Amino acid sequence: MKTKSILMAGLMAVATAADAQDIYKVEAVAGNDLNGTARFVGMGGAMGALGADISVMGTNPAGIGLYRSSDVALSASALVQPDAESFHDVNKARPSFDQMGFVYAAKVRGGALRFVNFGFNYHKSRNFKNYIGTGAVATGGLSQSMQMMDLAYTDHWLDLYYDEDRAMTTPLTCLGYDTQMLLPTYDAQGNVVDYTPCEADAYNYRRVQWGGVQQYDFNVAFNVKDRVYAGLTFGLYNVRMNSFTDYGELLPDGAGNQYEYYMQNYEQLTGNGFDVKLGLIVRPFARSPFRVGLSFATPTYYSLTADASLFMHSPFQNGDVPYTEGSVDVVGNEYNVRTPWRLGVSMATTVGSRVALDAEYELANYRKSNISYPDYYDDWGSVYDGETDYALREEIKRFMKPVHTFRVGAEARVGKGTYLRAGYNYVSAPFEKDAYLNLFTASSSYFYQTNTDYVNLGATNRYTAGLGWRGKHFYADVAYQFQKQTGDLYTFHLPEAGSEANRLAAAPVDLKRHQLLFTVGYKF
């Protein structure tokens, strides 16, 4: 027998504009990949003070002011995650269209202003394609249903037979009740006084994500006396993130037999955003190529919509059918994310006409991120102002960290029109080590939560190399990037007695990936 549960927005008016946002989705839209032209990537993204590359308008808008001729470029890449599996029609190797842009350099005759340049660039600022998988991880008797049981208690045990009580917990908990993963205990008056969860020997977990954040930058930059360069970039963002999770547990029956419980969770996050970036590059010494750069980026303001679909199968008999199945859909829910400010400083120099060097640092304090809800209308047409999710903001302050980014890059001309490049890019961990998906806050978003899993990502190390050729007008570049990152996977959270530490041990995950990037361009 298959049961179908649909959460109606009217069950909880205070949450009509909410969705299952959390600190992990904040990181997904706040972070950036190293991507752009092959020259930019080959130098580790360290071009904030060197400038004169289309991709630099996304890090230091003033870099476009160093152009003295117009430029158009197109880039594509192949991405490979070696530890991935082909799963849910997503392969471990995947092509990607990464960048397309131009710069128009307008020379100004007479006066201190030498050039006014205009640029546009599209690039994929975040590629969500990744796979995480584990097999037969021992749980020591712990089960996801135990977290469902915890979520079935507020200041009293909820009776999940009734809609008003179901509206006070997560859809996943309600579905666990529907599929008999939670069994209620009643007193003589018919009130629920306890729930009995399952016990599991091991779990299996697979999750695949795909999609990305598309960034569209519009730039204007100025060259003053070939000594001071200033620029402004207005950025538009389009988000499309998809995630499919397949999770299962082996449940013993006490007689030496094991039965399987499994769930499948599909989530989609879509929306748009915008930000503004300002940049400055100064060459302080007239006879020296040394220059310093400074950049500011406002928060990116996202308006997002999330949909989710959860399916659950348990081995417990329902009538004449030796299993129970159920599903729940949560669709069309909206919220806003504000990412942190970004501050960048850089310095660069050239050695003759043969070597270019750049080093830079960027700070983004993820603790300053925020989530709020849009204005909404009730059934009678009255409008209510959206407000900040203060409970979730406290989670952000508690578990997210200031993120530090370091970039260094070098380029050397090794022959006529031939260049070699190398770079290193480091991004510190976005989460505290003890961070977790806290489903016990006062945030209305968690009344729409369809998952319990989370991954605490570690620092990212990127190693890059590149090769370039320059003709009179045409040019071509190739870059290789190796990205190394690990994380700790938890499929659910059960706190220790007297502590919030998870009783479930972390499963280490490896998210390393390779990228081979190609750019072709034309200067005129």
- DSSP character string of 37-104: SHHHHHTTT--TTT--SGGGGGT-GGGGGG-SS-EEEEEEEEEE-TT---BTTB-SEEEEEEEEEEEE
Enter the DSSP assignment of 444. G
Enter the DSSP assignment of 158. -
How far is C-alpha 507 from the chain's CA centre? 20
Which two three-digit tokens encode residue 243?
Answer: 């995630």
Enter the DSSP assignment of 398. H
- Residue among 189, 63, 507 nearest 55 (CA): 63
CA 364/CA 367 separation, integer angstroms: 9
Residues 148 and 166: beta-carbon distance below 8 Å:
no
pLDDT given at position 9: 32
CA 403/CA 31 separation, integer angstroms: 9
pLDDT, average across residues 89-111: 91
pLDDT given at position 230: 98
- Tell me the per-residue pLDDT of 490-513, one tens digit each, with 9 for 90 and over: 999 999 988 899 999 999 999 999
- pLDDT at 444 exceeding the cut of 80: no
**Cβ neighbourhood burial of 83 (10 Å; 0-12, 13-18, 19+):** middle
pLDDT given at position 253: 87
CA 147/CA 66 separation, integer angstroms: 57
Q: Which of 123-132, 171-180, 315-324, 473-482 has the lowest mean pLDDT?
A: 315-324
- pLDDT at 321 exceeding the cut of 70: yes
- pLDDT at 108 exceeding the cut of 60: yes
- Residue among 295, 279, 357, 282 nearest 47 (CA): 357
Residues 39 and 362: beta-carbon distance below 8 Å:
no
Residue type, 460: T
- Residue among 17, 261, 14, 225 nearest 113 (CA): 225
pLDDT given at position 190: 92
Q: Which of 247-261, 288-302, 459-473 has the lowest mean pLDDT?
A: 247-261
- Residue among 450, 211, 310 nearest 3 (CA): 310
Nearby residues of 169 by Cβ (< 8 Å), 6 or more positions away? 151, 152, 154, 158, 160, 447
Q: Quickly state the pLDDT bin for 447 (edges 50, 70, 90).
A: confident
pLDDT, average across residues 249-256: 89
Residues 317 and 73: beta-carbon distance below 8 Å:
no
pLDDT, average across residues 194-210: 96
pLDDT, average across residues 135-155: 94
Q: What is the pTM of this model?
A: 0.91
Residues 15 and 447: beta-carbon distance below 8 Å:
yes
In terms of pLDDT, which residue wins out, 368 or 320?
A: 368
Q: Quickly state the pLDDT bin for 442 (edges 50, 70, 90).
A: confident
pLDDT, average across residues 378-391: 68
pLDDT, average across residues 119-135: 95
Mean pLDDT for the chain overall? 92
Q: Which domains does the chain have, with CATH numbers?
A: 11-86+103-141+199-523 (2.40.160), 144-197 (no CATH)
pLDDT given at position 20: 58
- pLDDT at 197 exceeding the cut of 80: yes
pLDDT, average across residues 388-417: 95
Enter the DSSP assignment of 19. -
Calculate what percentage of the chain has a pLDDT beyond 90. Answer: 82
Residue type, 422: A
pLDDT given at position 145: 97
- pLDDT at 358 exceeding the cut of 80: yes
CA 461/CA 425 separation, integer angstroms: 6
- pLDDT at 45 exceeding the cut of 70: yes
* C-alpha atoms less than 13 angstroms from C-alpha of 97 in its C-beta half-sphere: 8
pLDDT given at position 2: 39
CA 42/CA 84 separation, integer angstroms: 25
- pLDDT at 397 exceeding the cut of 80: yes
Calculate what percentage of the chain has a pLDDT beyond 70. Answer: 94
What residues are paired with 202 via a beta bridge? 138, 250
- Tell me the per-residue pLDDT of 57-82, one tens digit each, with 9 for 90 and over: 999 999 999 999 999 999 999 999 99
pLDDT given at position 3: 41
